[in-house]
């Protein structure tokens, strides 16, 4: 029982410390670094969108070439 209590206390202290460090890092970081990080995340997101579009186009091409119908009568397990 004592171990569980200490585990919960440790988790709470860890979450508190990480939260405080993130806030401190944002205050101390120059604006240019934050802007660069935002630009990088936008570029990665845009790249992912383009990859998904290309995959969808290629899947359509393959389905047309193989004569596979695109009916959605199967369940999607994602």
Helices (H), 1-78: 2-28, 31-66
Residue 44 resides in a domain: yes
Q: How many domains is the chain built from?
A: 1
Residue 53 resides in a domain: yes
* pLDDT value at residue 35: 83
Residue 48 resides in a domain: yes
Residue 14 resides in a domain: no
Domain of 62, in residue numbers? 37-67
Residue 24 resides in a domain: no
pTM higher than the cut 0.75: no
Tokens representing residue 50 in the block: 């383009």
Radius of gyration of the chain (CA): 24
Residue 25 resides in a domain: no
* pLDDT value at residue 2: 84
The parts of the chain modelled with pLDDT lower than 70 are 71-78
Residue 50 resides in a domain: yes
Q: Quote the CA–CA distance of 23 and 16 in Å, as a whole number.
A: 11
* pLDDT value at residue 71: 63
């Amino acid at each position: 029982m004592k171990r569980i209590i200490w585990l919960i206390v440790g988790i709470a202290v860890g979450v508190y410390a990480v939260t405080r460090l993130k806030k401190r890092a944002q205050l101390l970081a120059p604006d240019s670094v934050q802007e660069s990080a935002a630009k990088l995340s936008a570029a990665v997101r845009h790249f992912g969108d383009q990859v998904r579009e290309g995959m969808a186009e290629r899947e359509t091409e393959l389905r047309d070439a193989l004569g596979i119908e695109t009916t959605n009568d199967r369940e999607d397990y994602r």
